[in-house]
Amino acid sequence: MEVFDIVIIGAGPAGSTAAWHLSGQGLKIALLDKKSFPRDKVCGDALSGNTIFELKKLEDKGLDLSFFEVTENAYPVDGWSFFSPKGHRLDLFLPNEQKITEGKLKYPGFVSKRFDFDHFLLTPLRKTANIVVFENCEVKQIDFHNDKVKIICADRDLEAKLVLGADGANSILARKLWREKIDRAHYSAGLRQYFRNVKFEREKQLIELHFLPEILPGYFWIFPMADNVANVGIGMLSSEIEKRSINLKAVMKDIIQHHPKVSSRFHKAEALESPKGFGLPLGSRKSQVSGDRFLLVGDAASLIDPFTGEGIGFAMKSGRLAAHFILSKWGYHDFHNNQEYDEMLWKKIGGDILTAYRIQKLLRFPWLFDWVVKKANSSPSIWNLLNRMVWYPSERQNLSNPLFYFKVFRKS
């Protein structure tokens, strides 16, 4: 039996970020993962606002961000292209004067294979004092006792005072302990397929979100990467997939081969893999994220943005917040009741997520999306308004406010 203060299950962005923020405080930490790194994780690989913010916080803890100076590691992007249901395109990007010119993160966003990005976050932790990284270590069982937790993996047993569940969408803690069923209204299914030689037509490198009518309230994406590779995928609400008996792989294939707005981009493209799927636990309702001697972070805590499908930034943020919660209580709190963590996490993240949920719901009115995109393309002031919402999440709530549409109407 190996004894630790804290065991973190899962070494994705949530688990590694928590370990970074817990390091250097004298606590003995085990960070374990069922896979050995580098490992693939099905994802769109897009790193935007929230992730960049958290990376800067980790730089303060000693993470070397030179990784982002190599295009093959992390392909820089200028912003987003939204394609409305009727195919109107709206490009939102940071105006030149607002571009970041200092530091190693010179772009507002990047596309980085999780194979590389997660390995980059984890690697320095292998050499960090008081952190032991166990790979190929799948947690099979967790036994809670009054004064400790026993974590049973395939080939070793660990003991800790507290467990951090950073084990993603299929979290053993979130699922097996609570036997929580997936609520399909708050869960999406996604597919990813890497392609080479997809046609791009712009000067600016933008990540593209195509809100095709067939898959609303989901979208089809094309994200540019180095070496003419693109991350291509589709994400859709699980309740809609079930209601409409949709075969997502067949829909994605059909879009790539036949969709009038998209297929011409793929005439010379070569698929580098077959489509791979994974679930997205959305943060569109408040979930319980703690229990007796455990806290959940990242996808295990269901924190994915219900509009964009982004979860890496919130995973990292929750890892940081959980670490701060633990450090602020260590020594005098017994971690039996961690309700305070639930409240704090929701206070810091819930507002942004609920705004995204309201926007997701607006996708029930595709004509509204088309109308706003058309207006933004013909009115610089509306474009500015929408652009600010992309870069400053606090302004996003405008989108779910009827007054915003009145403003658009008046300015048109």
Ligand X SMILES: Cc1cc2nc3c(=O)[nH]c(=O)nc-3n(C[C@H](O)[C@H](O)[C@H](O)COP(=O)(O)OP(=O)(O)OC[C@H]3O[C@@H](n4cnc5c(N)ncnc54)[C@H](O)[C@@H]3O)c2cc1C
Enumerate binding residues for ligand X (CB under 6 A): 9-15, 32-35, 41-46, 138-139, 166-168, 172, 190, 192, 233, 235, 278, 280, 298-300, 304, 309-313, 315
Q: Which is nearer to ligand X, 303 or 389 (CB)?
A: 303
Q: How far apart are CA 253 and CA 366, in angstroms?
A: 23
Residue closest to ligand X when measured from CB atoms: 311
Q: Which is nearer to ligand X, 44 or 372 (CB)?
A: 44
Q: Which is nearer to ligand X, 79 or 190 (CB)?
A: 190
Q: What is the DSSP letter of 169?
A: T
Taking the complex as a whole, the smallest distance from the CB of residue 161 to ligand X amounts, in Å, to 19
Placement of tokens 């099979």 in the chain: 140
Q: Which is nearer to ligand X, 53 or 278 (CB)?
A: 278
Token pair of 306 as six digits = 């219900």
Number of other residues whose CB lies within 10 A of the CB of residue 244: 11
Q: Are 150 and 142 in contact (CB under 8 A)?
A: yes
Taking the complex as a whole, the smallest distance from the CB of residue 10 to ligand X amounts, in Å, to 3
Token pair of 122 as six digits = 């984890």
Q: Are 13 and 57 in contact (CB under 8 A)?
A: no
Contacts of 122 (CB under 8 A, 6+ apart): 11, 16, 31, 37, 133
Give backbone dihedrals phi and psi of 82, rounded to 5 degrees, phi first.
Answer: -100, 130
Taking the complex as a whole, the smallest distance from the CB of residue 85 to ligand X amounts, in Å, to 21
Taking the complex as a whole, the smallest distance from the CB of residue 365 to ligand X amounts, in Å, to 25
Q: Which is nearer to ligand X, 12 or 375 (CB)?
A: 12
Q: How far apart are CA 298 and CA 292, in angstroms?
A: 18
Taking the complex as a whole, the smallest distance from the CB of residue 13 to ligand X amounts, in Å, to 4
Q: Are 44 and 309 in contact (CB under 8 A)?
A: yes
Taking the complex as a whole, the smallest distance from the CB of residue 305 to ligand X amounts, in Å, to 8
Number of other residues whose CB lies within 10 A of the CB of residue 216: 18
Q: How far apart are CA 229 and CA 193, in angstroms?
A: 10
Q: Which is nearer to ligand X, 272 or 337 (CB)?
A: 272
